[in-house]
Structure 1
Amino acid sequence: MHKVGYISLNNVWKDEYLTLFKTNAKYKVKQLDVKDIERFTKHKALLIEVQKTTELPYILQLLLEVKKIPGMLTFIVSSSEIIDKTTRTVCLHLGVNGIKDATTDTGEFSIILKNALDKLSVARNQFQEQQKKDGDIFELNPVNLSLYIDNNEISLTKLEYQMLELLYRNLKKTVSYEKIYEKIWNDNATGKKYRVANTIFHIRKKLEHNAKNSKCIETVRSKGYRLNI
């Protein structure tokens, strides 16, 4: 089943979104509390409803948090025309996959969402099958913050998961200390390089028993790190 989370800031969930897939049991829209971010990762897509212009600053902040979740489809929905062109552009830059407003029919939107979910599922399956053929299984699981590698499951902390996910998104490319710190910590604290290196150290320790991939995180001298698998 493809589970879609539906977030409403005032906890008023509309039937038009809850019943998007009422005739297809393969897809299900579930109510989500905006504060329960840990449950977001149990869904393949999120619908975030905007009902008032005063909600927009909070919505944008929420999108920054959701953007950290790997592979998550995100859609903004609104039954009014409160999302102007500037706001639409900002939302898209923050990773939103689509925006449903008063000009979009609900039935049409359900097809758009279904197609996106199906394509995401196919892409994931093809990727996993290719890894099996190559003999390399390297899969990050956002639900329980773990890495599945060569038939072994390795538990990660939230920081370790975010670090490995960032390196994985930039596979075989050097990611600088500055970029890693900006994406994961995003503060002005001192000792930035040390904090990055310390997290990498703990990830490497967990990979030690996996002979083939124990050195998959390469240190690029004076620049940062690169993931090679």
Structure 2
Amino acid sequence: MYNIGVNQPTDEFEHTYIENLSNSKCNLVQVDSENMDAIISDLDGVFLKEDTNQNIGKICGLIMKIKEKSNPLIWVFSEEPSPIQKIIYLQMGADGAFTKEDEPEAVNLMINNSLKRYQQDKKEEMIEQFVDKPCGIELIPHNLSVKFSGNSEEIALTRLEFQLMQLLCDNYLKGVSYQEIHEHIWQTSYKNNKYKVANLVFHLRSKLEKSGVEPMLIRTVRSKGYMLSEV
């Protein structure tokens, strides 16, 4: 079952252009700027539909916010066919841009094919990552948690925290720059936004400390970034 966010009431969405989406193993969840932070990490894809209240500016704003918080698939549907708008959405990072001129069945197939590849890539990534790290850390991808040697408790992480922990484990005892962390997790260009990375590290350290793990396991490398040291 895929979790798909839509930017309008789900009952209205199910009776619009892509009426078969919810019947193809997709669970539709209404998403907006207010609840996005809470649910975006659980979504496999987001479908944004233009209407009188959701113009190109607001859609572009939502795409940017989604990209900042997580990395799901993104599709946009425009009522009026406009090649320029399609290009803009794709340049913003959308995985597909459709209009009412596109056949519903074809759009539905493209979305489902994208989701299948997305899930397959995630499964292959999880298989590769399901190993005990040399520093006594076990990453558990299927439920986004981490376990430390000598501690039977699994520590639940958010998707971004898990990605950060994974990157640091893969570079054990090596400094990882702010830029490398930012581009790996958010998949966007780094614009010297150290605060965003530092904020994520702060939350991860706090979560580890509450579970009895030494927070300075993640050490700050001056003027560079962070490094995972010995437990």
- Interval of TM-score (by shorter of Structure 1 and Structure 2): 0.5 to 0.7
* Equivalent position of 1:112 in the other structure: 110
Asked if 2 retains the 8 angstrom alpha-carbon contact of 1:176 and 1:224, the reply is: yes
Gaps of 5+ in 2: 187-192
| Residue pair 1:17, 1:29 contacting (<8 A) in 2 also | no
Q: Deviations over 1:157-205 (max 9, x none)?
A: x8xx75775686796473338x96xx8xxxxxxxx97896576356335
Residue 176 of structure 2 aligns to which amino acid in structure 1? T
- TM-score, length basis structure 1: 0.65
The alignment's TM-score, normalised by the length of structure 2, stands at 0.64
Equivalent residues of 1:100, 1:109 under 8 A apart = yes
- Give per-residue Cα distances to partners, 1:28-60, cap 9 Å, x unaligned: 444445643234444321110013597111111
- Whole-angstrom distance in 1 between the partners of 2:88 and 2:23: 34
Q: Which residue is equivalent to 2:45?
A: 45
Match of 1:126 in 2: 124
SS class of match (2:7): strand
Q: 1:115 Cα shift? A: 1.0
Q: Does the 8 Å CA contact 1:167/1:226 hold for their aligned counterparts?
A: no
| Structure 1 match to 2:139 | 137
- Name the structure 1 match of 2:226: 225
Cα deviation code 1:85-137 (max 9, x no counterpart) = 2x333322332111112332111111111111111212222222222355642
Report if aligned partners of 1:3, 1:30 keep a CA contact under 8 Å in 2. Answer: yes
Task: Confirm or deny: 8 A CA contact 2:40 2:70 kept in the other structure.
Answer: no
CA drift at 1:220:
3.2
- Map of 1:97 onto structure 2: 95
Q: Give the 3-state SS of the residue equivalent to 1:8 in structure 2.
A: coil
> Do the aligned residues in 2 keep the contact of 1:16 with 1:106 (CA within 8 Å)?
no
Residues 207 and 140 of structure 1: CA distance in aligned 2, closer, same or farther (over 3 Å): farther
Instruction: Give the whole-Å Cα distance in 2 for the aligned partners of 1:73 and 1:23.
Output: 19
Matched, 1:70 2:70: yes
Alpha-carbon distance in structure 1 between the residues aligned to 2:216 and 2:117: 33
**Are residue 148 (structure 1) and residue 145 (structure 2) matched?**
yes
Contact 2:18 2:104 in 1 (8 A): no
Q: Secondary structure at the match of 2:130?
A: helix
Following TM superposition, by how much is the alpha carbon of 1:223 offset from its aligned partner in structure 2, in angstroms? 2.0
* Aligned partner of residue 13 in structure 2, secondary structure: coil
Question: What is the one-letter code of the residue matched to 2:92?
Answer: L
